Amino acid sequence: MSAKRKKQGDSRNFFIGVLSIMVVIETFLLLNPQKTVVTRNHSKTFQSVSFPNALVGNPDKTITRPPTKTFGGDSFGITSPKSGKPSAALKKPSSAGRIAIVLDDWGYHLESCGAIQAIPQPIAVAVLPGLAYSKAIAECAHDHHKMVMLHLPLEPHQYLEHYPSNYIITTNMRQQRVERLLEKNLDEVPFVEGVNNHMGSKATEDRRLMSIIFARLKERKLFFLDSMVTSHSICRDLAREMHVNFTQRDVFLDNKNERGYIENQFAQLAKLARRRGFAIAIGHDRPLTLQIVKEQLEKLQQEGFQIVSVEEFLR
């Protein structure tokens, strides 16, 4: 009988000992949870992590879980857990400068509507009034998220082409006639956000005429882009006086309809934008120009330039 009791006592002591060991182990685990995670799941802890779509390509968002090389780390825009700062690989390249493109003389045909769609950057389309396709091409540009401008026919010092009567706004017109013709031109081109001059070397030197035009543009909350066809233009100073939103052209792209010439003008445009921070170029609705614009804007973006709307340069 005593042997049986002794055996039972030994068993009880064994179980008590096992329970004591288990209590010690569990107490240790509770007091050291981080070490346990690393010890038990070292090879799996981060391999099951899936990054939310909102994090991909967005360096401004971070997650608290430290990244590992399994996911390429910084390629997902994750903040370094050591420094709290984005790594060098994440830093966006500083802009080489901002560039805006305006293309003139639209409205003669519709063939270039496809070219508007093929250029993804925010170019502006300056439409001549009163032509067979002025309205249609303005609608095409608007539908493809391009800025529409009125390419306003103004008097030059010398006419190189023949124009119908009452098409060109001239310096000897009375105020009422100027206003009526300007309103007519604006109404013929839908979705207009701004105006630039077609020809106009004489008109943009005339303070009286441009004051009439600027007053009407100000009423309609439209900006004026000076095409700079004369070095004696008074438009910049007058726009400042009259508080009219204004900017001006820096480079003409296609005075010669030749690939080498146009590409060189783009090089000059890039040089100016890099030095000054911004530049505006004007070209025309021509097949060669449109093709080179598409090529060059892609190239300029790869070089770090921002292609922006002309609105960004208004003063």
What was the pLDDT predicted at 315? Answer: 79
What was the pLDDT predicted at 81? Answer: 32
Query: Is 97-313 assigned to CATH 3.20.20.370?
Result: yes
Domain ranges within the chain, ordered by starting residue: 45-92, 97-313
Encoded tokens for 95 = 């802009």
Which of 11-25, 134-148, 289-303 comes out lowest in average pLDDT? Answer: 11-25
Q: Are 170 and 144 in contact (CB under 8 A)?
A: no
pLDDT band of residue 21 (cuts 50, 70, 90) is low
Q: Are 303 and 270 in contact (CB under 8 A)?
A: yes
- Backbone torsions φ then ψ of 84, nearest 5 degrees: 75, 5
DSSP string over 162-216: ---TTSSB-TTS-HHHHHHHHHHHHHHSTTEEEEEEEE-TTGGG-HHHHHHHHHH
Please give the model's pTM, rounded to 2 decimal places: 0.71
What was the pLDDT predicted at 26? Answer: 54
Model confidence pLDDT, tens digit, residues 157-170: 999 999 998 999 99
Q: Are 117 and 98 in contact (CB under 8 A)?
A: no
Encoded tokens for 154 = 């103004």
Query: Residue 288 to residues 122, 149, 261, 283: CA-CA distances in angstroms?
Result: 19, 21, 11, 11
More confident residue, 67 or 257: 257
What was the pLDDT predicted at 95? Answer: 80
